[in-house]
Structure 1
């Protein structure tokens, strides 16, 4: 039999074996490629990026994102960082055209030997194609598409362009996408400042970011770092000596600083809500807005500290409520172990807030405790606010001294303490002070009265416990803090600081619809009446009866309209109780209204965002019209209303001047400790449920409020002066430390005259008790005290004759 037919058939079979797959491959290529996404879209790479919120000084105070990514150009990346990733992930990157067939073959052989997938053969280009253009499904069809796209990418993009996509897109663990976010996450550095050792450790992460995380397993991260350094030596990027030096270099993992997150949370949450409402959730979390706020971070931290410490001081005045919990012997060990892995994981120095401790015994003068691995004690003398303290057996009943009893702490009791020192004791026990989580809440808002820019905002004791922002959301009774608004309205109705009003008992009777007779007897806080009183004295000492008389004279409707133009928007009671603060308002409204007095009669709307830019630097919103070179576009608008004059400079100054007397002579005396001109007003409700202090210097205004969320009395003598003013003073002392004292500006038209305090008339030069009073133009009295002139008709009600 001839071999020629056999050879012929074999040749045909071989040709078919080659041609048929080739034709199939070509057909598959054209079939698949038609459905593939366009590679050209990668030239406009716009991945999800971080929205960042900045303080007024440029510090980052919040970030919002779905993927924590900061896109940076290749030029900002260290050359050795690029070399490290190339050596570890795709050694032939600069030679191949998207697909590295030898690497694929080697990977396939290793996978066959291992009986599973132990090594991938994807190039960097393929990884970019998969990440940006395809789904992550593990199918051959996806790998085929990936190869086609990788080849196309190499035809249209430069190697630097592909690296730009890869190094900004890749996930590197702990929420970090891209090398810049990872550099911040692990080293708290900018990517351009990374060392070779740090670059190699980052380049070891793509294979398994969680497994090789420097946070979770530093030893594994070091093993992977060594592998990358060896690969870099093999590829000629570094020499062996450099590799050894880099491997031996000490690397400190410094997580990104988040110190601002807790203390700035009420402010930044207000910003976040606005952004989401204005631009939508998708833009907020993916489009990299740059939000510049008015927050002064130092002031914000001082405000939060002042509120917390003031609430703790108030809570101690109420007494000790007893242990927070009581643990069994078995539970104590678990509790202490958890503390060492949590609260004290970074040592004593990292603990700045009060912590919990277990009562283990006592001596005559101390209570013994355990916290973490340390013994601790607090002096009973230091804890006098808790009364007489006795440590009792574990099965005894606990008690506090809120109701005047003796404090009993069973063994195993959990109490809160504050470290006196963060240093390890050389011998003996840690010294601590007894604390107690406060039950009352507080708020503080600060603003520049000239611009309306909010520099600090605290909406509660702890954002992690309650996200309700009491600075802007809580409507509470202002009590006497409303009085400067009533007095300002009276000044515009002809009253002067020297006007005399009789402070005497009043009785108001009203027939209810049911026929019942309602009787109201307004009274002063101390239940005393003081006879003839000047307007200045009445405000300085917060005289309720005088304020009610003034409101009745000027009219409730007039006073309400006056409050409205100052910025009070909440509903106001249309009766005489308005004089005593019977209508609830927010701290932010009070700040807005009082800023009119501080700003010479001009109302500025509060603003906490100064400018919003998109990821390309285009201004979207701003408080400065100059940011818009060609006027406001459809999607561009000012973030607040323009300033508007609502009262005269003279009335604004006189009201401020009256409130200076509140500080110098009356209920606002605590503010005198600032040692500079201060205007302010306390606020206390009749039932002591709300305490306020609103005050300002020419450069800064702040409002402090204290109360319970579920309204109840703050306690005996817990007035605005005692409960709210200390937080205001502590905050202002910190905020004004570098601010020079300044007097309030006096309008040129203000007149000054000597006044007899007994009757409000002009005093002769040698009168023993005269004082100099300020008046609006033409309102100073023209009669002298010695004339004994009868009151004018328009003064009749004010004298209550």
Structure 2
């Protein structure tokens, strides 16, 4: 009997199970193999153009270029991304933990990609029907921020995952976290936690409270949406999420979270120091660095730019400019209200003002609506938002209407109704809060004129302050450096200096009489006149400069020669084009305030021309010195000429047109200065110096209009110069100008003739002369000055 087959003895179900198992095994094998091949191919495809992560080991992001005043105060920052890189050790522990809980609580457990976080985010999104938390790890965010575009696509996410794995392989966790905390964008121009801490809270990352840290940690998902500046309610909601995640992770307690939720945060937009500190100065520095080092260096290389700017002097310049222009503007009268809204439009106008007025205090400038004019009591009631105030007549008497054709044009206001009526919208300044709850107000208007001021330190050329205009926000044009305006009589000292080197002396006599210049080629006749429309006869050169005599200056220029004079003033540093005619004696050519101040500095610096210094040194982000500017000067005129010019310009203050500067002399400081005015009163100048500082002031209209009746350099520019120089010399120990050099002698002369005195001389005075140029002849008898002494008497 044959034994049965083994296969036949096996139950059918077991055979079927084995076949199925084999099929599943091979299917799974080939599926895994296919998937592996597909993944490998995908990996090769998506990774072939990916950048190397090795660059992360030498992290050097674009850095802020910082501008410093001479005392080390930061006055400007230039950047594409405002980022301040700091190590993890300088971040508060709560800040780091807040970011980990909000963005990647399993950061120290995964290898770049966290499937649990992705799953949790998907579930949360399904529950909330919106994306409230992300699934990307911190490492993935680093990969995206450093190497990828922000596009939303599967291809980008795959590349991001590959890079995240490579980053985890190449760097320690702490290094990755350091990159993230310094690179992440947190809104309002802030990159990294240190810049954000300064932006939102005015503090450093190491000093943030838990409440502040949780606000910042809520920003990475959508900085603009959760901005605590623009959307405080949304920022608060996001903060609560961060705190709840921190409680869930066990890094803070419920009590700590509650305390942080209830903490009242002071959040203020970061001050734009570029605008607030010294904008005209730092803008000039910005242009200098940009031209010298290029755009990338300025905005990305973290340059450390040190300047000669003195902030205390700069503040005094701003105050003097604003006061001087306000005074000038008020002298010209009231130009009328900003608009008239009528009685029916008062409430709407008041409400509109209230929308822009936040917690007004003394010195606040705001719009207001006139609601009552009380001529009997001399008061004008004004409403602005929820507040009410009164303008007393005493503070608005300047507000006459400018109309030169009306008699008594300069008579001050007698009653408020002459200037204002109910329904007028005006500009007012808050003075103080009165006991009755009203504000005392002062009527204001924005000045039409512009002004510029530049101050340079005597002896070294360091520019300590610049005001290039009334308000940088309104106009960035730098009138101290970029503008070229006629300098008027401020040019005369250069003609007189040239004359001193041609044999003239302070005692030289020139007869102030009518002078006619005829240009036959151009068929042109010119008759220069003095400002006072009169002639003064025989006049010493010192007196001519003191009183700014036009005719005498033209005669001197004609005598010494135009070509010689042009060559001479070039030595003094005047580089702008200059006309080649006699009108240059009266400042008909245009020059910048910087040029003028630097040329006057030659007299103050004993004949040396210095290079103006704005930037003292520049270093790169690693501290390497790129540039250092030390004071440099070149001898361009003699000690004797410089001394005589200082003496002449001192007289212009003590006995001449610069008389307003005598108040500084009374405080122990000698000053030498000169006014400048153009014939049509379009430009007013005052330039002068003490042993400490050389300062120039210009006042004028951008459109070159008349400044107003009588607004000469003495009236419009000198008060600004005096206010400024008084302030910068306050509490300083007075110094004197250098003593006469060996080549100067002092001689007693006849005060009328400039010659040696005789018994018949009416008065005598001591005068300085260069050796060899002192008078040797005695004065003739009174009234016997010979006609031939006036070698210009017959004209030309």
TM norm structure 1: 0.90
Could you tell me whether the CA contact under 8 Å between 2:373 and 2:422 is conserved in 1? Answer: no
Quickly say closer, same or farther: Cα 1:403–1:769, change in 2 above 3 A: closer
Q: SS of the residue aligned with 1:682? A: strand
Q: 1:752 aligns with which of 736, 746, 749?
A: 746
Q: SS of the residue aligned with 2:455? A: strand
After superposition, where does 1:226-241 map in structure 2 within 5 Å?
Answer: 226-241=240-255
Quickly say closer, same or farther: Cα 1:276–1:402, change in 2 above 3 A: farther
Tell me how far apart the structure 1 counterparts of residues 761 and 20 of structure 2 sit (CA, whole Å): 140
Quickly say closer, same or farther: Cα 1:426–1:214, change in 2 above 3 A: farther
Shift of 1:73: 2.2
Quickly say closer, same or farther: Cα 1:767–1:459, change in 2 above 3 A: same
Could you tell me whether the CA contact under 8 Å between 1:56 and 1:295 is conserved in 2? Answer: yes
After superposition, where does 1:357-756 map in structure 2 within 5 Å?
Answer: 357-364=368-375, 365-387=378-400, 407-421=418-432, 423=433, 425-513=434-522, 516=523, 518-624=524-630, 642-674=632-664, 675=667, 676-749=669-742, 750-756=744-750
Shift of 1:19: 3.2
Rg larger for: 2
Tell me how far apart the structure 2 counterparts of residues 246 and 788 of structure 1 sit (CA, whole Å): 95
Shift of 1:732: 1.4
Could you tell me whether the CA contact under 8 Å between 1:501 and 1:799 is conserved in 2? Answer: no
Tell me how far apart the structure 2 counterparts of residues 541 and 335 of structure 1 sit (CA, whole Å): 53
Q: SS of the residue aligned with 1:567? A: coil
Task: Please list every run of 5 or more consecutive structure 1 residues that lacks an aligned counterpart in the other structure.
Answer: 390-399, 625-639
Q: Deviations over 1:737-791 (max 9, x none)?
A: 2432211112431322222211112347997733222222332223444899999
Tell me how far apart the structure 2 counterparts of residues 793 and 305 of structure 1 sit (CA, whole Å): 52
Tell me how far apart the structure 1 counterparts of residues 278 and 349 of structure 2 sit (CA, whole Å): 30
Could you tell me whether the CA contact under 8 Å between 2:593 and 2:696 is conserved in 1? Answer: yes
The match for 1:348 is: 360
Could you tell me whether the CA contact under 8 Å between 1:447 and 1:456 is conserved in 2? Answer: yes
RMSD: 2.9
Tell me how far apart the structure 2 counterparts of residues 113 and 79 of structure 1 sit (CA, whole Å): 32
Q: SS of the residue aligned with 2:155? A: helix
Shift of 1:176: 0.9
The match for 1:216 is: 230
Quickly say closer, same or farther: Cα 1:190–1:118, change in 2 above 3 A: closer
Could you tell me whether the CA contact under 8 Å between 1:566 and 1:646 is conserved in 2? Answer: yes
Tell me how far apart the structure 2 counterparts of residues 35 and 112 of structure 1 sit (CA, whole Å): 35
TM norm structure 2: 0.90
**Correspondence 1:141 to 2:155:** yes
Quickly say closer, same or farther: Cα 1:690–1:71, change in 2 above 3 A: same
Task: Please list every run of 5 or more consecutive structure 2 residues that lacks an aligned counterpart in the other structure.
Answer: 1-11, 403-407
Q: Deviations over 1:213-236 (max 9, x none)?
A: 222343443443343334334434
Could you tell me whether the CA contact under 8 Å between 1:553 and 1:797 is conserved in 2? Answer: no
Number of equivalent positions: 767
Q: 2:191 aligns with which of 177, 183, 190?
A: 177
Quickly say closer, same or farther: Cα 1:433–1:408, change in 2 above 3 A: closer
Q: SS of the residue aligned with 1:386? A: coil
Quickly say closer, same or farther: Cα 1:154–1:794, change in 2 above 3 A: farther
Q: SS of the residue aligned with 1:420? A: strand
Bigger drift between 223-232 and 120-129 goes to: 223-232
The match for 2:280 is: 266
Tell me how far apart the structure 2 counterparts of residues 729 and 166 of structure 1 sit (CA, whole Å): 55
Q: 2:771 aligns with which of 774, 777, 801?
A: 777
Could you tell me whether the CA contact under 8 Å between 2:399 and 2:419 is conserved in 1? Answer: no
**Correspondence 1:41 to 2:55:** yes
Could you tell me whether the CA contact under 8 Å between 1:319 and 1:401 is conserved in 2? Answer: no
Tell me how far apart the structure 1 counterparts of residues 793 and 750 of structure 2 sit (CA, whole Å): 16
Tell me how far apart the structure 2 counterparts of residues 776 and 56 of structure 1 sit (CA, whole Å): 40
Shift of 1:560: 0.9
Q: Deviations over 1:695-721 (max 9, x none)?
A: 111111111111122223222211110
Q: SS of the residue aligned with 1:385? A: coil
Q: SS of the residue aligned with 2:420? A: strand
Shift of 1:40: 0.2
Q: SS of the residue aligned with 2:591? A: coil
Q: Deviations over 1:661-717 (max 9, x none)?
A: 111111111111123201100011122221110011111111111112222322221
Q: SS of the residue aligned with 1:173? A: coil
Quickly say closer, same or farther: Cα 1:740–1:84, change in 2 above 3 A: same
Q: 1:99 aligns with which of 104, 107, 113?
A: 113
Q: SS of the residue aligned with 2:113? A: coil
Shift of 1:209: 2.1
After superposition, where does 1:110-121 map in structure 2 within 5 Å?
Answer: 110-114=124-128, 117-121=131-135
Tell me how far apart the structure 1 counterparts of residues 760 and 171 of structure 2 sit (CA, whole Å): 94
Tell me how far apart the structure 2 counterparts of residues 234 and 567 of structure 1 sit (CA, whole Å): 72
Could you tell me whether the CA contact under 8 Å between 1:500 and 1:799 is conserved in 2? Answer: no
Could you tell me whether the CA contact under 8 Å between 1:754 and 1:763 is conserved in 2? Answer: yes
Quickly say closer, same or farther: Cα 1:55–1:577, change in 2 above 3 A: same
Quickly say closer, same or farther: Cα 1:322–1:575, change in 2 above 3 A: same
Tell me how far apart the structure 1 counterparts of residues 783 and 336 of structure 2 sit (CA, whole Å): 65
Could you tell me whether the CA contact under 8 Å between 1:262 and 1:463 is conserved in 2? Answer: no
Could you tell me whether the CA contact under 8 Å between 1:233 and 1:243 is conserved in 2? Answer: yes
Shift of 1:361: 1.8
Shift of 1:190: 2.4
